[in-house]
Structure 1
Amino acid sequence: MVLEAGAVKAQVRDAAQAQAFVQFCVESGVLRFGEFKTKAGRMSPYFFNAGLFDDGAKLGRLAQFYAKALLASGIEFDMIFGPAYKGIPLGAAVAVELARLGHNLPFAYNRKEAKDHGEGGTLVGAPLKGRVLIVDDVMSAGTAARESIALIQAAGATAHAVAIALDRQEKATEIGPDGRARDVDHSAVQYVQHTLGLQVCAIASLEDLLQYLTDHPGTELGQHLERVQTYRQRYGVA
């Protein structure tokens, strides 16, 4: 699919689509505000739960946003991979939407545990080959991306790019020599781009969320702006 890579390059951004996506997430209850503990142990003023894209209409519209972002990005890839578990329905939905738009591509996913009967193994679907696009919801530390890359490389294919719904644009954490988690100066997305060498396509980012809140002053949504800004100042990356 002509959707070139090589060196990492900036994604073509569609600000209107990003704002429409944030609104869709708010209206769907996928994007919530309050106080939520992240995997890194931070208290976040917002939470993105892709598991709440829980009916056909929501999943279909989500796939449309992914497909539009991918087509605008200029990223090329030969097939789609959905990592277990959330990536499986996301990858499948994106494959269906791209096919509807005239770009029919192979799709595969993995199991968490190897199957010891039937076809066996951990991979299901089309054989992994060529340049593979990984489809997931968000990236917290890049751990899931590394696991997917290992599976793809073991199959003889090339992990080429990652598509996510939301880039939180915040510092990743890693375990230090003392066994304690510590903040680092890059985000999970930046790590995947600059260390692992994959391109990343995100439908929207924390900047888009802040812009959405800024555009709703005096409303219940607008009341969350200051807390999200404070969180960004503390944990955000450039």
Structure 2
Amino acid sequence: MMDKNEKTADTDQLALDFVQFAVESGVLRFGEFKTKAGRMSPYFFNAGLFDDGAKMGRLAEFYAKAILASGMEFDMVFGPAYKGIPLAATVAVELARHGRNLPFAYNRKEAKDHGEGGTLVGAPLKGRVLIIDDVMSAGTAARESIALIQAAGATPYGIAIALDRQEKATENGRDVDHSAVQYVRRELGMQVCTIAKLADLLQYLAASGGGEDMKAHHERVLAYRVRYGVGD
């Protein structure tokens, strides 16, 4: 099984293709954006703007290819409310199209007191569960999903995200020397699969023929990484 951190020529190209797709879809934007940590970021990734059938279909294809290339072994997928719900559903469909038909489930933010009740919807949580989400900023949403999965008697095995920002997480208002992805890998012992990383965004900007604008974006994103970035 391939190491989840190991990259090949195919996954490198997949990452660059995804960055281009995100930029062309208006999901990955450049400018000045304030993050949850209070930082002024020169770029912003909003997966909620994958907002039509064609974009969601292609996004699911990127997820499925990255997940299959990672070699991760899991029994079902889980989508945390809210953005993770359509992601888990469409990725499950795409995985089935690639020959891996797996159950999926998601949670509600508020428990339902009629019908089937509870906060969980879909297939029963069991076995090794892969969480599908867009990004990880502080790891808070991941911990919530992990608690839900464990409470159901299943095993939180891994997390698949679209973009790893590769920047320092914050705890109690202070920067720490690890990212949310690194925390999940090292402290929680879970696998993490990413379609693309900040390093891939920088490579895309450096190779782009977009002229002075792209050069300026590259310089600002690089400066941001120097200030707040972490390694793999």
- Shorter-chain TM-score bucket reads over 0.9
Using the alignment, how far apart are the partners of 2:213 and 2:164 within structure 1? 24
CA separation of 1:141 and 1:122: change in aligned 2, threshold 3 A: same
The SS at the match of 2:196 is strand
Match of 1:178 in 2: none
Q: Does 1:38 align with 2:35?
A: yes
Match of 1:191 in 2: 183
For residues 96-140 of structure 1, the C-alpha deviation after alignment (integer angstroms, 9 at most, x for no partner) is 000111110000000000000001000000000000000000000
Which of 136, 144, 147 in structure 2 is aligned with 1:147? 144
For residues 66-101 of structure 1, the C-alpha deviation after alignment (integer angstroms, 9 at most, x for no partner) is 000011001100000000000000010100000111
Match of 2:96 in 1: 99
Which of 50, 70, 76 in structure 2 is aligned with 1:79? 76
For residues 170-201 of structure 1, the C-alpha deviation after alignment (integer angstroms, 9 at most, x for no partner) is 000011xxxxx000000000000000110000
Using the alignment, how far apart are the partners of 1:64 and 1:222 within structure 2? 30
TM-score (norm 1): 0.93
TM-score (norm 2): 0.96
* Structure 1 contact 128–156 (Cα < 8 Å) conserved: yes
Amino acid at match of 1:124: V
Q: How does 1:106-121 map to 2 (within 5 A)?
A: 106-121=103-118
Using the alignment, how far apart are the partners of 2:218 and 2:96 within structure 1? 38
Match of 1:124 in 2: 121
User: What is the CA RMSD across the aligned residues, in angstroms?
Assistant: 1.3
Aligned-residue sequence identity (percent) comes to 78
Using the alignment, how far apart are the partners of 1:139 and 1:193 within structure 2? 12
Using the alignment, how far apart are the partners of 2:204 and 2:7 within structure 1? 19
Q: How does 1:145-184 map to 2 (within 5 A)?
A: 145-175=142-172, 181-184=173-176
* Structure 1 contact 128–157 (Cα < 8 Å) conserved: yes
The SS at the match of 1:185 is coil
Using the alignment, how far apart are the partners of 1:12 and 1:127 within structure 2? 33
Amino acid at match of 2:13: A
* Structure 2 contact 157–190 (Cα < 8 Å) conserved: yes
Q: Does 1:228 align with 2:217?
A: no
* Structure 1 contact 80–132 (Cα < 8 Å) conserved: yes
Q: Does 1:10 align with 2:5?
A: yes
Amino acid at match of 1:10: N
Post-superposition offset of 1:10: 2.5
Match of 1:237 in 2: 230
* Structure 2 contact 29–44 (Cα < 8 Å) conserved: yes
Using the alignment, how far apart are the partners of 2:182 and 2:191 within structure 1? 10
Structure 1: 5+ residue stretches without partners: 176-180
Using the alignment, how far apart are the partners of 1:93 and 1:223 within structure 2? 35
For residues 19-43 of structure 1, the C-alpha deviation after alignment (integer angstroms, 9 at most, x for no partner) is 0000000000000000000010100
Structure 2: 5+ residue stretches without partners: none
Runs of 4+ in 1 over 3 A off after TM superposition: none
* Structure 1 contact 12–72 (Cα < 8 Å) conserved: no
Q: Does 1:64 align with 2:56?
A: no
Using the alignment, how far apart are the partners of 2:22 and 2:36 within structure 1? 21
